[in-house]
A and B are shown apart, each in its own frame.
Chain A
């Protein structure tokens, strides 16, 4: 279990993280969401013992990150944002070096490295210099480096950045598999990634926690009004507007002119107005060409929570 209590980090006069508290249970996959500069990376750097907190306590299984730094670092695998590797080594040399630093017995090097090569898809580049690899491969070497010692906790700062869509799916599946037995904390600003992989989401903005829960809980809790989009032909704007406004649950609507009229309708959340809308249009003898409902997504929750104060910290 990871415990973060009243964590504050200041860089000179700038406050990167303020009074942040949360816990992560073993075996949980936690997604860390927030706009750029929200304090995600800073929090991760403190969790991994790279930096010290200005105030507050951070501990892993009851071990404080400052007092038991070495023990905490042994149990964590970390991938920093830019995957900073040694470019003058080849992949095999690099992974052997990390295996040594991680205290893996020499006789196990071969099996561990082979396993990482197959898990991360590195088989074809083992003898290539890291400096010559594409960004996606560097990222995968970074992930292999973080997992080679089979850590209890994996901390991944934007693990899928720079990967192509197929690799992103691979890495997400990998993270999900790992999440069965390990604690994983990952930061991202790709919201679909959180929905696809995480058990729980923390949204932070300007260094403070603004939301905490499962993706489903968050969308339910912060759900606003739903949006409907229609395309109608055979009518003119004025009668269409009055006919649709008469449907119960419709709050407001905007429409365009022309032979095909596009309508944006704001509907009270939770109301299903699809059938009444269809009937209102059909009864008047108009033709409904398209109808689409947009329910509240994590994306709109994220934007709602982080929009207003997005640049106040700068």
Chain B
């Protein structure tokens, strides 16, 4: 556990030691801020719902950009050799790195509280809806970060990691749109797979264990895949 926390701290520090974190955070706030202001004046209601609806599109690019270097960069520079020969377990490495990315994403989401605060001055916000929306964003950020951790463990090239995680995330994001092409009997399966479906449930302010379990199992599955990918070096 101590190693996990040490690795997590190290990753967080390397985010903030480079300009990348600040650029990415600024871009994130600019884009979500743009969505926020345009929809606010269009709708004229004190609600964050529209902003929450559009944020996942930003995540599609934002999260892979954050996670792409996690393991790929260690592989490229060779520092993974030291990491693997220190007394750290593979799962500690995976979880530590994933946690750093998730904390970073949660911080970015936290910054958008400024928007929420400014809306709350105009009219009364629906507390349940706002809370559900934030919970949904954080869980979705976690699931995408887990996907990014996995794709970063597959390659030593950050660009490859970025493109693969973007593709996987886009597939989970868009899978619901296949509804029109497939027989209706497929609908429950597509809905179950769709990140959008589960996120929208939460963003409506309905906190259902099914949605929580979906995100938790997606995170666990992806971290498990990342773990197996690290373990593959021990193959004879």
Contact A97 B79 (CB under 8 A): no
Contact A53 B236 (CB under 8 A): yes
Q: Residue among B17, B78, B81 with the most chain A CB within 10 A?
A: B81
Nearest Cβ on chain B to A62's Cβ, whole angstroms: 18
Contact A101 B86 (CB under 8 A): yes
Contact B10 A73 (CB under 8 A): no
In this assembly, does B37 line the interface, its C-beta being within 8 Å of a C-beta of chain A?
A: no
Nearest Cβ on chain A to B96's Cβ, whole angstroms: 10
- Which of A51, A55, A76, A102 is in CB contact (< 8 Å) with B233? A51
Contact A85 B79 (CB under 8 A): yes
In this assembly, does A88 line the interface, its C-beta being within 8 Å of a C-beta of chain B?
A: yes
In this assembly, does B210 line the interface, its C-beta being within 8 Å of a C-beta of chain A?
A: no
In this assembly, does A89 line the interface, its C-beta being within 8 Å of a C-beta of chain B?
A: yes
Nearest Cβ on chain B to A64's Cβ, whole angstroms: 13
Set of chain B residues within 8 Å of A86, measured between Cβ atoms: 10, 14, 79
Contact B77 A84 (CB under 8 A): yes
Contact A97 B87 (CB under 8 A): no
Nearest Cβ on chain A to B26's Cβ, whole angstroms: 20
Contact A145 B82 (CB under 8 A): yes
Q: What 1/0 mask marks residues of chain B from 1 to 23 whose CB sits below 8 Å from any chain A CB?
A: 01100110010011001100000
Set of chain A residues within 8 Å of B18, measured between Cβ atoms: 88
In this assembly, does B117 line the interface, its C-beta being within 8 Å of a C-beta of chain A?
A: no
Contact B82 A84 (CB under 8 A): yes
In this assembly, does A1 line the interface, its C-beta being within 8 Å of a C-beta of chain B?
A: no
Contact B13 A93 (CB under 8 A): yes
Contact A88 B14 (CB under 8 A): yes
In this assembly, does A70 line the interface, its C-beta being within 8 Å of a C-beta of chain B?
A: yes
Contact A89 B78 (CB under 8 A): no
Contact B86 A102 (CB under 8 A): yes
Specify the chain A residue showing the minimal Cβ separation from B6.
Answer: A100
Set of chain B residues within 8 Å of A93, measured between Cβ atoms: 13
Contact B89 A52 (CB under 8 A): no
In this assembly, does A15 line the interface, its C-beta being within 8 Å of a C-beta of chain B?
A: no
Contact B2 A100 (CB under 8 A): yes
Contact A50 B14 (CB under 8 A): no
Q: What 1/0 mask marks residues of chain A from 8 to 35 whose CB sits below 8 Å from any chain B CB?
A: 0000000000000000000000000000
Q: How far is the CA of A74 from the CA of B87 in the complex (A)?
A: 6
Q: What 1/0 mask marks residues of chain A from 55 to 91 whose CB sits below 8 Å from any chain B CB?
A: 1000000000010001001101010101011111100
Set of chain B residues within 8 Å of A85, measured between Cβ atoms: 79, 82
A84-B81, A145-B82 known; A101-B87 Cβ under 8 A: yes
In this assembly, does A98 line the interface, its C-beta being within 8 Å of a C-beta of chain B?
A: yes
Set of chain A residues within 8 Å of B87, measured between Cβ atoms: 70, 73-74, 101-103
Nearest Cβ on chain B to A154's Cβ, whole angstroms: 12
Set of chain B residues within 8 Å of A73, measured between Cβ atoms: 85-87
Q: What 1/0 mask marks residues of chain B from 194 to 235 whose CB sits below 8 Å from any chain A CB?
A: 000000000000000000000000000000000000000111
Nearest Cβ on chain B to A78's Cβ, whole angstroms: 5
In this assembly, does B88 line the interface, its C-beta being within 8 Å of a C-beta of chain A?
A: yes
- Which of A87, A89, A102, A103 is in CB contact (< 8 Å) with B77? A87
8 A Cβ contacts from B1-59 to A: 2-3, 6-7, 10, 13-14, 17-18
In this assembly, does A168 line the interface, its C-beta being within 8 Å of a C-beta of chain B?
A: no
Contact A54 B236 (CB under 8 A): yes
In this assembly, does B84 line the interface, its C-beta being within 8 Å of a C-beta of chain A?
A: yes
A80-B82, A101-B87 known; A52-B234 Cβ under 8 A: yes
In this assembly, does A2 line the interface, its C-beta being within 8 Å of a C-beta of chain B?
A: no
Nearest Cβ on chain A to B167's Cβ, whole angstroms: 28
Contact A80 B236 (CB under 8 A): no
Q: How far is the CA of A73 from the CA of B2 in the complex (A)?
A: 17
Specify the chain B residue showing the minimal Cβ separation from A54.
Answer: B236
Set of chain A residues within 8 Å of B6, measured between Cβ atoms: 97, 100-101
Q: How far is the CA of A55 from the CA of B86 in the complex (A)?
A: 23
Q: What 1/0 mask marks residues of chain A from 151 to 169 whose CB sits below 8 Å from any chain B CB?
A: 0000000000000000000
In this assembly, does A183 line the interface, its C-beta being within 8 Å of a C-beta of chain B?
A: no
Set of chain B residues within 8 Å of A54, measured between Cβ atoms: 236
8 A Cβ contacts from B86-109 to A: 86-89
Nearest Cβ on chain B to A57's Cβ, whole angstroms: 13
Listed in ascending order, the chain B residues whose CB lies under 8 Å from chain A are 2-3, 6-7, 10, 13-14, 17-18, 77-82, 84-89, 233-236
8 smallest CB-CB distances across A and B, nearest first, come from: A84-B78, A84-B79, A48-B85, A73-B87, A100-B6, A74-B87, A52-B234, A78-B85
- Sample of 13 A–B contacts (CB below 8 Å): A45-B81, A50-B84, A50-B233, A80-B85, A84-B79, A87-B77, A88-B17, A89-B13, A100-B3, A101-B3, A101-B6, A103-B2, A103-B87
